[in-house]
Amino acid sequence: MNLTIKDIAQLAGVSKSTVSRVLNDRPDVNASVREKVLKIMSDNNYTPNAQAVAVAKKQSRSIALVIPSEFDHHIINEYYLELIQHLSKLFDDNGFYSLFVYPDSRKSEDLITRRRVDGFVVLSSDRKTSNLMKLIEESDIPCVSTANLKNGHLPCFDIDNRQTGIDATAYLISKGHKDIAYLNFESTLGFEDRLNGYKAALSIAGIEYRDSFVMNSEEATPEGAMESFLQFWKEGNRPSAVFACNDTAAKGLYAAAYRLGIGIPSDLSIISVDNQFSSQYMTPPLTTVNQSLYEKAVFAAEALLECIHTGNNQESKTLSHSIIERGSVKNLVHVDQ
């Protein structure tokens, strides 16, 4: 038979509130009383009920993961699937449930105003998160981000998106490409930094930047990327390479190239960002910039839990990235020599 707090209180000859204070490690408990209560718990293999402890600490034991508004976005985009998997496991291991909310839903506002969650992790730099972030800041609920929201007050754990753009574009340039286009998803703030990195890399190499070589897709899906490139090609643009803002966009480029009869990489080279699991199985395998989503999840989860338990915010951290070379980029250097 499992003991209750009432049973322990009777055995120790103290009140239930005293037992509760011991459970919550409150300092206002006599040392001998604390030792007696803990011994009774140990002798009887007592395990505190998680819900009871949460109520005592005024916690819901729940974490809200803020995902993109489009339902199919995080289903199609393996980046979110993997990140959600890591975060959910980490929070579960620490006794917290994970739930998913959209940045522009009434449910999100209700969670904040009624304080029905202990913290938030913002997974996307979707422009729609701005109002939600304002509400979170005003409520003082613990919150961290795994994407750069251009918010200096929020602990952020992400790669340097501008440097990522520089490195990806510089890689294409090192392979002899000069006519390089960029495919962007407009709804994501972090991709503006990748675009700025693309511009910087061209400038460093002495290559003229052309507005016409930047494609902007409103829809952050392979279909959106495909339609953007088809229109871009229809307008007479002929790059030798494209830097896609992420692997999801690259998949749309592959589809567009197939429709147009364009060979990859014989006619068009492609590099992107994320190193999604399926990128290695594309034809040809996709050259992409890798970032460790497990590392990102660990830093974010640890920072949020620290804030929940102690009220202390950790500093933002810039995570590492590296280029994974596969078969989607043609080397033009030897052709020119």
Answer yes or no: do 193 and 285 share one domain. Answer: yes
What is the count of structural domains for the chain? 3
pLDDT digits (tens, 9 = 90+) for 223-276: 999 999 999 999 999 999 999 999 999 999 999 999 999 999 999 999 999 999
pLDDT digits (tens, 9 = 90+) for 26-81: 667 888 888 888 888 888 877 665 444 444 455 668 999 988 766 555 566 889 99
Answer yes or no: do 103 and 45 share one domain. Answer: no
- Whose tokens are 């998949």? That residue is 251
Answer yes or no: do 43 and 20 share one domain. Answer: yes
Where would I find the beta strands (DSSP E) of 1-124?
62-66, 97-101, 119-122
Answer yes or no: do 94 and 168 share one domain. Answer: no
pLDDT digits (tens, 9 = 90+) for 123-179: 987 777 777 777 777 777 899 999 887 666 789 999 999 999 999 999 999 999 999
Radius of gyration of the chain (CA): 26
Choosing from 33, 56, 79, the residue where a domain stops is 56
Closest Cα partner for 143 from 171, 125, 117? 117
> Do the beta carbons of residue 121 and residue 87 sit within 8 Å?
yes
Range of the domain at 16: 5-56
**Which tokens go with 240?**
């030798």
Q: Which amino acid is at 62?
A: S
Distance CA 246, CA 256 (A): 16
Return the CATH number at 311: 3.40.50.2300
Answer yes or no: do 142 and 196 share one domain. Answer: no
Answer yes or no: do 194 and 330 share one domain. Answer: yes
